[in-house]
Amino acid sequence: MAEVSIEKLTKSYDGKTQVLSGLDLHIGQGELVFMLGPSGCGKSTLLRILAGLTSPDSGAISFDGRNISTLPPEKRNAAMVFQNYALWPHLDVFENVAFGLRMAHRPGPEIERLVMAALEQVRMDGFARSAVTRLSGGQQQRVALARALAVEPALLLLDEPLSNLDANLRDTMRREIRRICTERKLTALYVTHDCREALSMGDRVGVMHRGRLSQIGTPEEIYDHPADGFTARFLGDVNRVPEGGIRPERLKITDGPGKFRARLLERAFFGDSCEWLFEGPGEERILVRELGAPDRQLGREYALDYDPAFLIPVPEPGDEQ
């Protein structure tokens, strides 16, 4: 597994609109880094450039200190997992996973060993001779992942791999991908617009905005200490309070004096938790999230409190999605 360095990467498709405008990123050996950002911010472009499928306008990419910027895809050993699986419908599971190894003219016994090890790792070894067209979406995504693992990539690239799966399966696959990355000590870059996926799986998470990294850090760092309003808003809800911004779960409904008073307007019950919508002193809407569902009275005024250590930058109107 390689250590990956990306320096000052730029790309525009039409010569005018900069999709990437000087993006710097370092991925440590064996690290799973997430790149988060709204649709269209250039995440797939970044992955395609790393895989060698798209050329950047300028910038440098190195694997273990070696500049690979001008190498063709097959010489980079970066494997990609796509949202739509991209499997060959006329090949069975084994041959789909073996595809990259056959292209690289690896000897038969080695192909057999690498393919079966990869299928075992994704728990699909019992399906080696099945037609991929008969598999469920989740199983097809496992095969796509096995195909990427089989080539023992220097860098694993994942492009929204769970978006086509239903919610339960997504949770399972989230844990599976995390497990496999840890077991294989994979260096991996995973792009998504789903912050729950990024925060729950990533060693570090970067947020892309206007062609650059607006911030990168551990999930806790970027969630609790976002660098700017855009990052704060992208990662979760933010309330405007008199002193700044605060996340809904950091607000406490209290019997004491609190920081300010607000009138309770609405309640939404989610089983394990509940959300309260308040109207603040300046008629602004304030959202509070609590575990459980205490008895509270709609229309009544309550005092709200928070620890100022959790104040975060306030999003500007253009930062709202």
Binding interface with ligand ADP (CB under 6 A): 13, 19, 37, 39-45
Rank residues 213 and 293 by Cβ distance to ligand ADP and give the closer one.
Answer: 213
SS3 270: coil
What is the rounded radius of gyration, in angstroms, for the C-alpha atoms of the chain?
A: 23
Least distance in angstroms from the C-beta of 44 to ligand ADP: 3
Which residue carries 């990168």 as its tokens?
216
- 72 contact partners, CB below 8 Å, separation of at least 6: 52
Nearest distance in Å: CB 20, ligand ADP: 8
Instruction: Read off the DSSP letter of residue 249.
Output: G
**Least distance CB 39 / ligand ADP (angstroms):** 4
Closest CB to ligand ADP among 180 and 195? 195
Please say which residue, 37 or 153, places its beta carbon nearer to ligand ADP. Answer: 37
Q: Which residues contact 79 (CB under 8 A, 6 or more apart)?
A: 100, 147, 148, 149, 151, 153, 155, 156, 157
Closest approach, Cβ 226 to ligand ADP, in A, equals: 19
Distance CA(173)–CA(176), nearest Å, equals 5
Among 288, 195, 204, 200, CA closest to 239: 288
- Min CB(131)–ligand ADP separation in Å: 31
Contacts of 119 (CB under 8 A, 6+ apart): 93, 94, 97, 125, 127, 128, 143, 146
Strands (E), 103-199: 155-159, 188-192
Bridge partners, residue 189, by sequence? 33, 157
The nearest distance, CB 38 to ligand ADP, in angstroms, is 7
**Do residues 46 and 35 lie in contact, with contact meaning Cβ atoms separated by under 8 Å?**
yes
How many angstroms separate the CA atoms of 71 and 84, rounded? Answer: 26
Task: Output the smallest distance, CB 257 to ligand ADP, in A.
Answer: 46
Name the nearest CA neighbour of 145 among 100, 104, 209, 205: 100
Question: Which of 91, 100, 143 lies closest to 120 in space, CA to CA?
Answer: 143
Nearer to ligand ADP, 159 or 228 (CB): 159
Name which of 132 and 222 has its Cβ closer to ligand ADP: 222
Give min distance, CB of 57 to ligand ADP, in A: 13
Q: In the complex, what is the shortest distance from the CB of residue 11 to ligand ADP, in angstroms, rounded to a whole number?
A: 8
How big is the CA angle at 182 (ends 23 and 94), to the nearest 5 degrees?
A: 95
Nearer to ligand ADP, 40 or 281 (CB): 40
